[in-house]
């Protein structure tokens, strides 16, 4: 009889529970660490468990440092927003005057109506939802005139014609790819008895240049149908009264909600997480009867935002009304002077301090560059910086071009400068 081989005690893998407990310093809950431990033991190498736990951590939401120079980076949640939201029970749908049920749209809606100088406003969960709801509530079963130059596609294959189909409205194309005139809209009104709206869609992520012609909002008034303008990017007021220095030059020509309504639009829709500088949301503002029709539509409930988003938007709206642009992270980043950025770049203590260009990002202001300052380091260090090993566990996102790593200070929160400096010094 052959004697059974017994693995020395020192070679035996730990129990699943013991291995999981040895990883408690990662901060992951014990049930997730148990899953990691089981996979490592089943693979025959329990020493891989820690790497497995770290890999799992990277799949969870966590703070990152944006050093790419893309201020509204879609992959990093677009606008960084800071809020003093109180997470206690709120009067979300409670009328404190009557003690009866109220509307979640009343609190924030009145503030954005004031900011846009609109009769009424409401909030949904993003700008695509805002467009969908407006079309469904105001034009279901009827025609909507849209210039061929504005049949846009944004990220995630979101296409205006597809949204039109889902809303129940019928697309009526007017003009050509490069030239559209008021007479094209007039022909659509004359040719389609059931035309419900004239819809303008901002070319937020591309430009058409050369032999072009477009119809401004002012030219669309008097058509006999409401004018809806999806300005997209979320600029409230082209005068930027919340900035001490006034509107920056790179913002020239960007449509703003207040001015679009003043020019004759009946409804505007825009995003909360782009130039507005808040959480993901869509705002519908304009004529009270049209906004109210959107509020009453069944889709409004399906597309409504949660209390946390509304609380953050309320905090943001009050900040705008106080004209405190420095308290809005996006505007603080976007308006920082090159002189201040250079001082910060020099303080990082590693790499070559260089001029570079930031971009707004987030599908806004295509082709626009914002002069900035950052540091350039020889070699591709993107993966090392992304690991967060030398920056307090916070990943740093940089960009690499022709074998050099670029870190743009404009998109880095000043509170993170020391973490970035530590990571650079460790390269």
Question: Which of 296, 325, 354 is the endpoint of a domain?
Answer: 325
Please say whether the dihedral angle defined by the alpha carbons of residues 284, 289, 290 and 295, taken in this order, is positive or negative: positive
Residues 307 and 246 both lie in one domain: yes
Has residue 409 been placed in a domain?
Answer: yes
In degrees and rounded to multiples of 5, residue 120 shows phi and psi of -155, 160
Interior angle at CA 313, CA 245 and CA 58, nearest 5: 100
Rounded to an integer, the average pLDDT of 109-117 is 97
| Tens of pLDDT, residues 292-341 | 999 999 999 999 999 999 999 999 999 999 999 999 999 999 999 999 99
Residues 40 and 76 both lie in one domain: no
Number of domains forming the structure of the chain:
3
| Tens of pLDDT, residues 233-272 | 889 999 999 999 999 999 988 999 999 999 999 999 999 9
What's the N-to-C CA distance of the chain in angstroms?
60
| Tens of pLDDT, residues 383-392 | 999 999 889 8
CATH number at residue 248: 3.40.640.10
Residues 70 and 192 both lie in one domain: no
Has residue 222 been placed in a domain?
Answer: yes
Has residue 97 been placed in a domain?
Answer: no
Has residue 5 been placed in a domain?
Answer: no
CA-closest candidate to residue 226, choices 290, 272, 181: 290
Residues 255 and 393 both lie in one domain: no
Residues 157 and 304 both lie in one domain: yes
Has residue 304 been placed in a domain?
Answer: yes
Has residue 94 been placed in a domain?
Answer: no
pTM above 0.85, yes or no: yes
Rounded to an integer, the average pLDDT of 116-126 is 97
| Tens of pLDDT, residues 140-163 | 999 999 999 998 887 666 788 899
Range of the domain at 122: 105-325
Residues 242 and 264 both lie in one domain: yes
Question: Which of 277, 299, 325 is the endpoint of a domain?
Answer: 325
pLDDT of residue 7: 52
CATH number at residue 358: 3.90.1150.180
Residues 242 and 302 both lie in one domain: yes
Has residue 14 been placed in a domain?
Answer: no
CA-closest candidate to residue 396, choices 334, 350, 354: 350
Task: Tell me if 20 sits within 8 A of 36, measured CB to CB.
Answer: yes
| Tens of pLDDT, residues 12-26 | 779 999 999 999 999
Residues 43 and 71 both lie in one domain: no
Task: Tell me if 76 sits within 8 A of 421, measured CB to CB.
Answer: no
Has residue 133 been placed in a domain?
Answer: yes
Residues 235 and 179 both lie in one domain: yes
CA-closest candidate to residue 333, choices 406, 416, 258: 416
């Amino acid at each position: 009889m052959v004697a059974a081989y017994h693995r020395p005690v020192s070679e035996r893998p730990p129990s699943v529970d013991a291995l999981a407990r040895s990883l408690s310093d990662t901060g992951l809950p014990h049930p997730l660490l148990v899953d990691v431990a089981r996979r490592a033991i089943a693979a025959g190498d329990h020493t891989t468990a820690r790497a497995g736990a770290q890999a799992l951590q990277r799949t969870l939401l966590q703070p990152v440092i944006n050093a790419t120079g893309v201020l509204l980076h879609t992959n990093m949640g677009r606008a960084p927003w800071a809020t003093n939201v109180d997470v206690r029970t709120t009067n979300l749908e409670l009328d404190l005057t009557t003690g009866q049920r109220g509307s979640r749209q009343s609190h924030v809606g009145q503030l954005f109506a004031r900011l846009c100088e609109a009769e009424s406003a409401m909030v949904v969960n993003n700008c695509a939802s805002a467009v969908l709801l407006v079309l469904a509530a105001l034009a279901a079963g009827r025609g909507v005139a849209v210039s061929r130059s504005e049949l846009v596609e944004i990220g995630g294959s979101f296409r205006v014609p597809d949204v039109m189909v889902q809303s129940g409205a019928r697309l009526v194309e007017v003009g050509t790819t490069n030239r559209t005139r008021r007479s094209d809209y007039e022909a659509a009104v004359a040719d389609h008895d059931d035309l419900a709206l004239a819809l303008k869609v901002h070319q937020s992520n591309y430009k058409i240049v050369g032999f072009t012609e477009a119809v401004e909002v002012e030219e669309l008034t008097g058509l006999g149908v409401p004018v809806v303008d999806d300005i997209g990017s979320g600029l409230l007021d082209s005068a930027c009264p919340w900035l001490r220095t006034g509107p920056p030059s790179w913002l020239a020509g960007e449509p703003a909600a207040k001015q679009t309504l003043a020019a004759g639009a009946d409804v505007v829709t825009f995003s909360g997480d782009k130039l507005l500088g808040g959480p993901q949301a869509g705002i519908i503002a304009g004529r009270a009867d049209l906004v109210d029709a959107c509020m009453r539509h069944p889709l409004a409930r399906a597309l409504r935002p949660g209390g946390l988003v509304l609380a953050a938007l309320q905090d943001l709206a009050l900040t705008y009304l106080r004209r405190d642009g420095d308290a809005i992270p996006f505007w603080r980043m976007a308006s920082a002077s090159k002189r201040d950025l250079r001082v910060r770049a020099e303080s990082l203590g590693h790499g070559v301090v260089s001029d570079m260009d930031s971009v707004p990002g987030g599908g806004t202001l295509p082709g626009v560059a914002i002069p900035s300052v950052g540091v350039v380091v020889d070699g591709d260090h993107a993966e090392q910086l992304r690991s967060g090993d030398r920056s307090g566990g916070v990943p740093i996102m940089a960009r690499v071009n022709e074998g050099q790593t670029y870190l743009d200070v404009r998109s880095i929160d000043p509170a993170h400068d020391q973490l970035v400096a530590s990571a650079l010094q460790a390269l």
